[in-house]
Amino acid sequence: MDWVNALVQGTLLGGLYALFAAALSLIFGVMRLVNIAHGDFIVLAAYLGLTVVMSTGLHPLLALSLVVPMMAGFGYALQRGILNQTLGDDILPPLLVTFGLSVILQNLFLEGYTADPQKMDAGLLETASVSLGSLSLGILPLLTFAIAVAVIAGLQFVFYRTALGRAFRAVSDNQEIAQLMGLNKRHIFGLAMALALAVTAVAGVLLGIRTSFDPTSGGARLIYGFEAVIIGGLGNLWGTLAGGVILGVAQTIGAKIDPGFQLLAGHIAFLLVLAVRPNGLFPRVSG
Amino acid sequence: MPDPILSLDGLCAHYGDFQALYGVNMTLNEGEVISIIGANGAGKTTLLRSVSGLLTNAGSQIRYRGASIGNLRADEVAALGIALVPEGRQLFPSLSVEENLLIGGRLNRPGPWSLQSVFELFPILQERRTAPSTALSGGQQQMVAIGRALMSNPELILFDEISLGLAPVIIKSIYDALPGIVGEGMSAVIVEQDISKALSVSDRVYCLMEGRVTLEGASQTISREAISHAYFGIE
Amino acid sequence: MSAQTHTVSRISQAAKIASVVGAIVLIILVAAPWWAGRADLRLMGELFLYLALASLWNLMAGYAGLVSVGQQAYVGFGGYILFALTIFGGLPPVVAIAGAALLGALIAIPVAALIFRLRGAYFAIGTWVIAEVFRLSFAQLSVLGGGSGSSLPVDIVRSLASSRSGRESLAYWMALGAAVLVITVIYLFLRSRRGLALTAIRDNELAASSLGIDIWRTKFVVYVVTGALTSMLGALIFLQKLRISPDAAFSVNDWTAFVIFIVVIGGIGTIEGPIIGTLIFFALRETLADLGTTYLIVLGVVAIVVMLKAPKGVWGLLRERYDLQLFPLGYRVQQDRKTTD
C-alpha cells in the first residue's frame, strides 16, 4: 500500500513539475527560445509572493492576484527590452543572455533576502487532507495538480481557440509572413513571454507554499521543468503533464528506496527516456 | 488625372552586397491592374517584397497615396491596406484552412470580403475548412493564399507568381476568377512568368530584366516582338 | 602588363611579433617562483587554470557549437578521481592527474552518446543534468567523504615535494604547463584538417555537411577531448585545494559561470579571446571582489551588454579595428611588390 501511496504522491508532485514545464514549453514553441533563467523566475515569483504576503497579510493564494500581473508585466518588458534582441539563427546570444540573467537574479535575491531558506505560510491548507480508502491525500498537492490541469487546459484553449493563439502559432511558423497579416512580432513575443511568466507566477507561489526556497533554488526547478518537457515530448502540453507525472513518480519511488536517492532517481528516469525515446513519449514536433 | 495610388521612384534594393533593383520607376493608378513580367532573378519578387515592407530602407522611393512607405515594417504596410499573396503560397502549416483565412482578416478592415464570401469564391475551401493547410493540393493552397490576402479587404493587392508549380487547368480557373476578385475597385500588381496570362488580366505591363525596367506599355496593344526584346534582352 | 604573383602565408607580421613576445613572456613566467611572492604565485596559478578552462569551453562553444553549462561535471570528476587514485590506488599525484584525463575521456564517451540526442539550448541544459547526476552520485560515495567531502592525506601531499615552497612552485609550474598544453592542443587541432572542418561547421553547418564533413563525429571528438582535458584540470585544481566536496567540486558558479563570463567578455570563437577575457576577469576580481554579490551582478550585466552590443567580445572589437590575428590560423594573400608597366 505504501507503494501505491508513493505512486499517488508522485503523480500529484508531477502536477507541480508540469507547471514548471508548461511555461518553458510555451516559450520554446512560440519563439524557439530556451530561458536558462526560467527556474530563477519561478523563485522570483516565490519571493514576490513572500513580499506581498509579508506586507499585506494576504493569504498566499490570494497574493497570486498581485503576483501574476506583476510577473506578466515584467515578462513583457523583459522580452521587448532585452530578449527580442537575442532572437535569430545563432543559439549563443539567448543562451548566454539568459544565463547572465540567472546569475543576476540569484545574486539580487541574495542581496534582498539573504541566503536563508524562506517559505510562505498557507495555514490550514498545508496540512489538510482528504481520505480515499486507505490513502491520505493532501489538499495542497491535490489543488496543485488540479491547477496544473486547469492551466494546461487554459493554454490549449488559448492556443487553439483564440485569435491570440492563432497569432502565436503563425509567428512560430513563419515570422515574415505573419507580419504580412499585420502582426507585430515584437509585440506577439512580448505577449507570449507575459503569458509564460503568468504561468510561472502560479508555479512559483505554489512552490513557495509547498516547500522552502532560497536564492539558489532556481537551478533545480529549471532542470525538473526541462526533464518533464523532454520526457513528455516537445510541442505537446498534455505530454508535458505526463512527463511531469513520470518524473514525480520516479522521484517519489526513488525516495522510498532511499531518501538520498530521490533526485538521482528522477535524473535516471530522464536519461532512460532520452536513451530509448529521444523525442520523448508523446512528441508532436521534433525540436 | 488623379495621382497614382502607388509610385516607385528610382527604387533600389539590396540583399547584403548584392543589388537586385537598379532605379525602378513604376506607377499604378487607382483601380488599375498592372502586370510585371520578367525572367527568374529579374527582381520581380524583390520589388513586391519592397512594396509590402518585407524589405525596408527604400525611404521615399516607394509612395502609397503620396506618403513614403519605403521604411515601414511589413505589419505597418499591411495596416495601410496593402496585401501580398507571397511567392510559393507560404501558408501557415500549424493553422487549418479556415484559420489561415481568419488570420488574414485579423485587421478587421471593412469591405466586401469575409470568410463567407471567400468560401463563395472558392467553394472547395469550405469543404476542407478544417483540414491542415498543408494537406491541400497546390491549386487549393493558392486559393487559400489568395483568400487570406482578400480577408484583409485590401485597397492594393500584390500577387507573386501565383501560377508557379500549378497545372495549366488550375491556373486557368484561378485567372478566370481574377477579374471578379479585383473588379471591386481594388488596385493590383500581378507578377507573373506566364506572359499570356499576365497580359490577359492587366491594363498595363512592365517588363523587368536584371533589376531594370526594360519595357512599359498597354497590355492590349503591346507587340510580341517588343516583349521578347525586353524579356530576353535581344537587340 | 606585368605578371602579378602572390604569396600565400599563414603568418602575419603581428603574429610573428606576438610569437617572439610570447616566447619571452613564457620564459619570464617559468622563472616566476624566483621573482614572485607566494600570493602572486598562487594568483597566477589560478589564472592559468581558468585560462585553460576558458579556452576549452571556447573550443566547444565557439568552434563546435556545443554550448555546455555542465563542464563542472568533469572538473569535479577529475578532482574525485585524483583523490581516489592517490588514496586508494596508491598512485603518485602526477600519474593520477594523467589518469584523471584518461578516465575523463572514457566517461565522456557514453555521456556524449546520450546528450548528443539533444540540440541547441536543450543540449546545454542536458549537460547541466549530467553534472547534477555526477554530483549526486559522488555525494553517495561515503568512501570519498559522501556529502561533506574529504581531505587529501598529508603523506600524499608531501610526496609531491619535500618543502612547502617546492610544492608551491610545482603547483605553479603544473598550472602553467597545463595552460600551455591546452592552448597548444587547441591551436594544433584548429590548424589540422579536423579543425578546419570545425570552423566550416561553425560557419555553416548545412554547407559543411554537404561537403561530406562528418559533423557528429567531429563534435564527438571535441567533446571527449575537452572532457579529458577538463578532468585533468579538475585534478590539478583539487590537488592544490587539498580538499574536495560535492558542492565545491561541481559548483556551477566557480567552474561554469566564471568561465562563460571570461569567454563572452574576451571574445568567443577565437584563441586570443579567452586570454584577454581571463586577464580582464582577474583584474575585475582583484578590484571588485570586496563587493561580493554586487560583483557577480556586475559580471552578469557586463556579459549581457557584451552579448547584445559586442557579441565578438573585446578581442573581436580589437580584431575588427586593427585586423589582428596573433595565432596564425587563417591564410593571408599578399601581392608581391613588383613594378607594373
DSSP B128: T
pLDDT of residue C341: 42
Burial of A39 (0-12, 13-18, 19+ CB in 10 A): buried
* SS3 of A116-157: CCECCCCHHHHCCEEEECCEEEEHHHHHHHHHHHHHHHHHHH
Predicted confidence (pLDDT) at residue B28 exceeds the cutoff of 90: yes
> Is A227 an 8 Å CB contact of chain C?
yes
Instruction: Provide CB contacts within 8 A for C246, sequence distance 6+.
Output: C76, C135, C136, C138, C139, C147, C149
Q: With b meaning 16 or more CB within 10 Å and e meaning fewer, what string describes C148-177?
A: ebbebeeebbeebeeeeeebbbbbbbbbbe
Q: Residue A284: inside a domain, yes or no?
A: no
Q: How far apart are the C-alpha atoms of A203 and A185, rounded to whole Å?
A: 27
pLDDT of residue C49: 96
Contacts of A285 in chain B (CB under 8 A): none
| Residue in B74, B94, B102 closest to A180 by CB | B74
Q: How confident is the model at residue C335 (pLDDT cuts 50, 70, 90)?
A: low
The identity of residue A73, as a single letter, is G
- Please report which helix (H) or strand (E) contains residue B12, including its range: strand B6-15
Predicted confidence (pLDDT) at residue C164 exceeds the cutoff of 70: yes
Say which CATH architecture domain C19-335 belongs to: Orthogonal Bundle (1.10)
Predicted confidence (pLDDT) at residue B235 exceeds the cutoff of 70: no
* pLDDT mean across residues, chain B: 90
The identity of residue A127, as a single letter, is T
Q: Residue A244: inside a domain, yes or no?
A: no
Contacts of A169 in chain B (CB under 8 A): 92, 94-95
Q: Where are the domains of chain B?
A: 1-81+157-235, 86-154
Quote the cell numbers at residue B32. Answer: 488599375
Residues of chain A short of pLDDT 70, as ranges, are 1, 285-287
How far does the CA of residue A157 sit from the closest CA of chain B (Å)? 14
Predicted confidence (pLDDT) at residue C40 exceeds the cutoff of 50: yes
Q: How far apart are the C-alpha atoms of A60 and A73, rounded to whole Å?
A: 20
pLDDT of residue A233: 86
From B49, B117, B123, B57, select the one nearest B88 (Cα to Cα): B49
Q: How far apart are the C-alpha atoms of B128 and A114, rounded to whole Å?
A: 60
Which chains have 3 or more CB–CB distances shorter than 8 Å to chain C?
A
DSSP string of C286-299, one letter each residue: HHHGGGTHHHHHHH
Q: How far apart are the C-alpha atoms of B134 and A125, rounded to whole Å?
A: 50
Mean pLDDT, residues C245-269: 91
Burial of B108 (0-12, 13-18, 19+ CB in 10 A): exposed
DSSP B132: B
Predicted confidence (pLDDT) at residue B41 exceeds the cutoff of 60: yes
Contacts of C133 in chain A (CB under 8 A): 264, 267-268, 271
Mean pLDDT, residues C225-248: 94
Contacting A with CB below 8 Å, chain B residues are 52-54, 73-75, 78-79, 83-84, 86, 90, 92-95, 99, 102-104, 106-107, 148, 152
From A181, A169, A174, A179, select the one nearest B148 (Cα to Cα): A181
Give percent of chain C with pLDDT exceeding 90. 42
Helix axes A185-210 and A38-56, enclosed angle (nearest 10): 60
CB contact under 8 A, C252 and A219: yes
Predicted confidence (pLDDT) at residue C340 exceeds the cutoff of 60: no
- State CA B232 to chain mean position distance: 23
pLDDT of residue A221: 93
Span of B96-110, C32-46, C62-76 with lowest mean pLDDT:
C32-46
Instruction: Provide CB contacts within 8 A for B204, sequence distance 6+.
Output: B32, B34, B35, B216, B217, B218, B219
From A54, A49, A57, A77, select the one nearest A206 (Cα to Cα): A49
Instruction: Give the dihedral sign, CA A133/A134/A139/A143.
Output: negative
Number of A to C CB contacts under 8 A, please give it.
122
The three-class DSSP label of residue C249 is: helix
Q: Residue A42: inside a domain, yes or no?
A: yes
pLDDT tens, position by position, B160-198: 999 888 888 888 888 988 888 887 689 999 999 888 888
* pLDDT mean across residues, chain C: 86
Predicted confidence (pLDDT) at residue C122 exceeds the cutoff of 90: no
pLDDT of residue C339: 45
pLDDT of residue C331: 63
> Residue C112 to residues B60, C137, C224, C252: CA-CA distances in angstroms?
55, 18, 8, 20
Range of the domain at A88: 2-120+137-213
CB contact under 8 A, C120 and A34: yes
pLDDT tens, position by position, B8-18: 999 999 888 88
Q: Residue A41: inside a domain, yes or no?
A: yes
Matching CATH number, B1-81+157-235, of 2.60.40.420, 1.10.3720.10, 3.50.50.60, 3.40.50.300 = 3.40.50.300
The identity of residue A232, as a single letter, is G
pLDDT tens, position by position, B145-162: 999 999 999 999 999 999
Q: How far apart are the C-alpha atoms of C279 and C288, rounded to whole Å?
A: 14
Mean pLDDT, residues C174-184: 94
Span of A59-68, A76-85, B102-111, C33-42 with lowest mean pLDDT:
C33-42
Q: How confident is the model at residue C208 (pLDDT cuts 50, 70, 90)?
A: low
| Residue in A97, A230, A264 closest to C122 by CB | A230
Whether residue A188 contacts residue A26, with contact meaning beta carbons closer than 8 Å, is answered with: no
Span of A258-262, C158-162, C198-202, C207-211 with lowest mean pLDDT:
C207-211
How far does the CA of residue B37 sit from the closest CA of chain A (Å)? 23
Q: How confident is the model at residue B3 (pLDDT cuts 50, 70, 90)?
A: confident
Contacts of C148 in chain A (CB under 8 A): none
pLDDT of residue A286: 40
Q: How many domains does chain A fold into?
A: 1
Give percent of chain B with pLDDT exceeding 70. 98
Predicted confidence (pLDDT) at residue C81 exceeds the cutoff of 80: yes
Q: Where are the domains of chain C?
A: 19-335
Mean pLDDT, residues B49-68: 90
Residue of A nearest to B90 (CA): A177
Q: Residue A51: inside a domain, yes or no?
A: yes
Predicted confidence (pLDDT) at residue C333 exceeds the cutoff of 80: no
